[in-house]
A and B are shown apart, each in its own frame.
Chain A
Amino acid sequence: MLLAIILILIPLIAAGLCFVSGKKIAPIVGLFGTMLSFFYFLYMLTVYNVRHELMYNTSFNWIPEIKGIFHVGIDGYSIIPLLLTQLVMLFSLLYALNSNSNKPASYFGLLLLTQAFLNGFFIAQNPITFYLFFELALIPIYFLVLNWGGAERKKAVFKFFIYTIFGSLLLLASIIYIHSAIGANQLLSWKEFYFQKFPMHVQLYLLVAFFIAFGIKSPLFPLHTWQANLYSNSDKPTVIILAALMSKMGVFGLLRFVYPVMPAINVYQPTIITICIIGILYGALMAWRQTDMNKLLAYSSLSHIGLIAASIFVMNVQSIEGAMFQMFIHGLCVTGLFVVVGILESKSNSSNINDTSGLARIEPRFASYFFIITLASIGLPLTAGFIGEFYMLYGLSKDNILYSLFAGISVILGAVYMFRFYQSVMFGKLKNGSLQSSSAINLNAEYILAIIALLVIIFGFFPGMWIDFAAFSFLEYSEYLPN
């Protein structure tokens, strides 16, 4: 039986089992749940027919009094983020197996709860269901950082939480407004929502609300101030989820919600894209100046996500293909990079890039995995990163060549800060003291890095299938675009 809702139920049940099981069993139950959901999704993918707009539906009248329909299913847009979620959660749990945390039962339970809500988020097929999971996904993450984070975790996670809640309450306000505006009709799926034509001033309000809500979640430039602190104060499995998946929630939300406000976006396009480009360049420049590895990755993430958001706002077939593909590749790269940071931190007990050097001599395999992931993150041809960035910049240039010119600078800056990071950590003199005596890299982390390195190369050579998925999903809703 193939139903999208099972993708929510598998991790949810596994999470419940984790919470009640003992210290030893909980990680195994958790890993089993993630694997099950991964393979179930792969099986779904083999049967999935991209031309058959919406598959594996479940819908019922959840809130009968206000015609709030619960509707989940898989359409073209859901495929890539879902695959990313299953993969990244698997990596995150694998990595968590090694870090000896206290209270593993609640830890793994919360991780799986996050997966359940993230899966629900990516398969939500109408605004109400979307909002439900948008807000729910925050709760387990909050407790994960609160209980297992770094020194300043409380302050960092609280800031993140209040920011995000503010955004999502604005989203709730607009969803309630849309619900009332649609009136007696049921808001069954995205199409009913896209079909609505709002007056221009309402579109502007909605656009501002969506930009704030998803801009905080992603984060986009002026709303990113929670990011660096949170990333450096979460433990690694959590920050992998935050950077690889929660940030995709933001851009995915934009992708879902921009259709009805496209006319307003077209009017204000120069302003919006300029904000995004400022964010792209700002993120890249800030990453250049960081000495803390976590913060460096946080700002580089800000830069990459800004580019994805910009290409969603221009909304043509190439930019959407690029954005979807880059969402996937950025998720993989950032997972790999945070695993790398985790390893480096455990080796030198510091997250400063100047405290580690010369690691390439004693860990050649690690160095080469790290190098491949770095290249993919920069966007070198023949790695997967190139495909996404090329499509996005091409899509941007179709609207205005200046957009892609300025956004393109970030690719160069990306090479600068990533190579600076790589160089100072891997080359140079091997420092005395703790480095040599420290333990070997644990096997799970190395497996994760190897798989990611392999994947970014494979997707670099054969991106066709995923680009096609993105193109089909764009065509599915393209009739709702103005002109």
Chain B
Amino acid sequence: MSAIIILTISSLLILFFGFSKQRGVILPLSFIALIASFAMLAMGNNFWSEYLTNMISIQSSSKSFALLICAIAICIFPFFHELIKRGNEELADFIGIILLSIVGAIVMVSYQNMMTLFLGIEILSIAMYVLAGANRRSVNSNEASIKYFILGSFASAILLFGIALYYAATGSLSIINPKLINSELYQFSLLIIFSGFSFKVALAPFHFWVADVYQGTPTLFVTVMATIVKIAGFGALAQFVLSQNSVLPSWINWFFALIILASMFIGNIFAYSQSSVKRILAFSSVVQSGFILMGIINLDANNSWSLIYYLTAYALASIVTFIVVYFVEEQSGSDHLDSFAGLSKSNPVLAVVMSIALISLAGVPLTAGFMSKLYVLRNINSIGFTALMVIALVLAAVSFYYYFKIINAMFSPSGDRRWSVHFSYSAVLVFITIAIIFLGVMPGVLHGFLG
């Protein structure tokens, strides 16, 4: 709770600083606020952990999700220094909005009551709609914003409808120990609620917004979209599934299996033929969402770490890929595959970190991506979906195709552009890449850290 308060106050302060002349303090202040809230979460004093008549509770798994959100935000924030290039006047707006979106994300993963969930989703989503349109003079950015806003508010409405049905079926908005009054209505409400969630985390067949929005949104903000929104969405879904474990009907596993199958097929097939790297990554994020959902099937408090592990691996790799795409786009003006040509020659550091991140997304051993896939695949195999596991792995061969298409482009000799990236950015990227490999080489560490 203290983390939420710190972040909210600092975001308000930052919006205020936007009016004043001291714009230099904006970035340091936000960074300090993030670190402080991370520390507050890590220390976890119980006095502040439950709040508002049990509508929010930051404990056990929700605490891990909140910590992950803060950690990922800390990893992304150094790159927001690039925003200063765009002119000072907008900096305060963007940083303030992003801090608010992190507040929304933390609320989303720690809700105990459907009202809080909706509040969190709206705080996060509205911030994202604004960020999608951040590039006001670009048509693509405006299109992305409008598309995301219309489809997103539609999905929110569906979720709200599901919440209403849930209330009708259980007689309470609280998700703790649901008492079923009307079982059929409850099952229907689950269907609606899961559909709403599927939109937020871009699972097929609710993925249609993702490619256009990722392509239009300024790449720095896509990094936030691909990491924090996804963690928050899956965190909220996990909280819901965990609390409903005792009353979930058995068909829900098949429903998830169907969504996973659809995401694998659609994501892989659409990504296969793209030539814009951002679109490839957007469709690949649909596939990754499918894999993450495998960790949600049959979720209980004992195996929620595998979900957190996957989200960590995915978020770290996504940061690296999108930031590298940002730098390439910044210097060549396009995110087409051809504009990556010659990156290995002119800036080997970027090429190597990008390669490792893509290899991790593809799931080669000794990277975090492999371990996370191993965990979730073993999870679905152990509950009897062996055929799904085999199909997912066979389709993963397609994903190797498009990830390595990007690597091929980077290592092709043509192009003699000069990519110059400030040393500190490279250092952060290298640091994140080392974290990816470290998690892959010693997978036990994260679990040990989470307890």
Contact = CB atoms under 8 A, between A and B. Distances in A.
Interface of A: 61-66, 68, 131-132, 135-136, 139, 142-143, 146-147, 154, 158, 161-162, 165-166, 169-170, 172-173, 176-177, 179-180
19 contacts: A62-B444, A66-B374, A66-B375, A131-B365, A132-B365, A136-B364, A136-B365, A136-B366, A158-B401, A158-B404, A162-B401, A166-B394, A169-B393, A172-B393, A173-B377, A176-B377, A176-B381, A176-B389, A180-B382
Contact of B364 (A135, A143, A146): A135
B389 A173 contact: yes
Interface of B: 305-306, 359, 364-366, 371, 374-375, 377-378, 381-382, 386, 389-390, 393-394, 396-397, 400-401, 404, 408, 411-412, 443-444, 447
Contacts of B364: 135-136, 139
Given A65-B444, A136-B364, A146-B408, A173 B393 contact: yes
B404 A63 contact: no
A65 B381 contact: no
Contact of A162 (B381, B382, B400): B400
Nearest to B397: A166
A131 B359 CA distance: 16
Contacts of B386: 177
Given A63-B371, A65-B447, A177-B386, A169 B411 contact: no
A172 B394 CA distance: 10
Nearest to A68: B374
A179 B378 contact: yes
A154 B443 CA distance: 34
Contact of B378 (A132, A143, A180): A180
Contacts of B375: 65-66
Given A63-B443, A162-B401, A173-B389, A147 B378 contact: no
B447 A64 contact: yes
Contacts of A165: 397, 400
Contacts of A147: 411
A61 B447 CA distance: 14
A119 B390 CA distance: 29
Mostly helix, strand, loop or mixed at chain B's interface?
helix
A177 B381 contact: yes
B393 A170 contact: yes
A162 B393 CA distance: 13
B443 A62 contact: yes
Contacts of A177: 381, 386, 389
B390 A161 contact: no
A404 to B, nearest CB: 36
A68 B305 CA distance: 16
A170 B394 contact: yes
B444 A180 contact: no
Nearest to A161: B404
Nearest to A143: B411
Nearest to B365: A132
Nearest to A129: B365
Q: Which residue of A65, A132, A139 has the most chain B CB atoms within 10 A of its CB atom?
A: A65
A176 B359 contact: no
Contacts of A161: 400, 404
A177 B31 CA distance: 45
B344 to A, nearest CB: 8
Contacts of A61: 444
Given A136-B365, A161-B404, A180-B382, 15 more contacts: A61-B444, A64-B444, A65-B444, A66-B375, A66-B378, A131-B365, A136-B364, A139-B364, A142-B404, A154-B412, A166-B394, A166-B397, A169-B393, A172-B377, A176-B378
Among B364, B371, B393, B396, max chain A CB count under 10 A is at B393
> Shortest 8 CB-CB distances between A and B: which pairs?
A166-B397, A169-B393, A64-B444, A132-B365, A165-B400, A173-B393, A173-B390, A180-B381
A170 B396 CA distance: 10
A62 B441 CA distance: 8
Contacts of B401: 158, 162
Contacts of B404: 142, 158, 161
A177 B383 CA distance: 11
A66 to B, nearest CB: 6
B366 A132 contact: yes
A249 B400 CA distance: 21
A64 B390 CA distance: 24
Contacts of B400: 161-162, 165
Nearest to A133: B365
Contacts of B394: 166, 169-170
Nearest to A134: B365
A338 B381 CA distance: 44
Nearest to B412: A154
Contacts of B377: 172-173, 176
Contacts of B382: 180
B192 to A, nearest CB: 33
A131 B382 CA distance: 20
A7 B400 CA distance: 30
A146 B359 contact: no
A139 B389 CA distance: 24
Q: Interface centre among A63, A132, A136, by most B CB within 10 Å? A: A63
B415 to A, nearest CB: 15
Contacts of A143: 411
A392 B426 CA distance: 56
Contacts of B389: 173, 176-177
A169 B359 CA distance: 14
A169 B377 CA distance: 12
B428 to A, nearest CB: 21
Given A162-B400, A162-B401, A180-B381, A63 B408 contact: no
Contacts of A132: 365-366
Contacts of A139: 359, 364
Contacts of A63: 371, 374, 443-444
Contacts of B374: 63, 66, 68, 172, 176
B16 to A, nearest CB: 47
B313 to A, nearest CB: 14
A163 B386 CA distance: 22
A98 to B, nearest CB: 23
A106 B375 CA distance: 33
Contacts of B359: 139
A64 B443 CA distance: 8
B299 to A, nearest CB: 15
Contacts of A180: 378, 381-382
A63 B396 CA distance: 22
A180 B376 CA distance: 12
A139 B360 CA distance: 12
Contacts of B378: 66, 176, 179-180
A11 to B, nearest CB: 15
B274 to A, nearest CB: 17
Contacts of A135: 364-365
B367 to A, nearest CB: 10
A132 B382 CA distance: 21
B410 to A, nearest CB: 10
Contacts of B412: 154
Contacts of A142: 404
A162 B408 contact: no
A338 to B, nearest CB: 24
Contacts of B411: 143, 146-147
A170 B374 CA distance: 13
Nearest to B390: A173
A136 B363 CA distance: 11
A68 B365 CA distance: 13
